[in-house]
Chain A
């Protein structure tokens, strides 16, 4: 089965900072990689699909890149509402198996 890892597991940043989160798959998943944002007490929200496509309504400061095994989520200028936990999810082995990464928590420095 495909394993997903994320780094860092947490980070502290300031408003206006450029933030990059990495997701790595244990084998190539092409571009079958999605990103979610989850705020405390709320359901996750789909941000990026197919590694780099922005979900409708998501601000353009969010971007995704990568293919194969290594992927990044970038927030170009961190806003107060962006402090949250971010999860990657592979869709290569779906529908049989749906796997989330362990998450990266972004909090205020």
Chain B
């Protein structure tokens, strides 16, 4: 079955760039039915969507992070990546990668918008500290 695994440094210094990679196994990242996304969760807090990418490279970013975020995809490696620049302690969080399913088919066979994250990686803790 499809699995996602985050990888990258667990400690990043303030003002530097956080870089994470998500490796997709058990399926192709190049499916037309899915976007791929990053979500983070500061300790003890809720979920924050960071951004999403399609296999073609089309991206959407959270406006609150857009100036610092870059998400890219490498279809040859079945991976997508996150870069978050100029990090501060406020960027300390568990970072999740996930598959974003765009549609579902109802009982009549019609395609309907779904747009939810249905498969998640286990998450990786990133601490911003000197």
Give A residues with C-beta under 8 Å from B.
Answer: 32, 34, 36, 38, 42-46, 49-50, 53, 55, 87, 89, 91, 94-103
Contact = CB atoms under 8 A, between A and B. Distances in A.
Nearest to B35: A95
Given A87-B47, A98-B49, A100-B46, A32 B123 contact: no
B26 interface: no
A75 to B, nearest CB: 19
Contact of B62 (A45, A46, A91, A98): A98
Interface stretch (B11-19, B67-75, B79-87, B108-116): B108-116
A100 B63 contact: no
A99 B117 contact: no
B123 A43 contact: yes
A98 B51 CA distance: 8
The interface centre, meaning the residue of B46, B48, B121 with most chain A CB atoms within 10 A of its CB, is B46
Interface string B83-126: 00000000000001010001010000000111111101111000
Nearest to B123: A43
A44 B117 contact: yes
A100 B118 contact: no
B122 A103 contact: no
Interface of B: 35, 37, 46-49, 52, 60, 62-63, 96, 98, 102, 104, 112-118, 120-123
A97 B63 contact: yes
Contacts, number: 63
Contacts of A53: 104
Given A43-B120, A46-B117, A102 B46 contact: yes
Nearest to B102: A95
A101 to B, nearest CB: 8
B80 to A, nearest CB: 15
Contacts of A49: 104, 114, 116
11 contacts: A34-B114, A36-B117, A43-B122, A46-B116, A46-B117, A49-B116, A87-B46, A95-B60, A98-B49, A102-B46, A103-B46
A91 B123 contact: no
A42 to B, nearest CB: 8
B115 A32 contact: yes
B48 A100 contact: yes
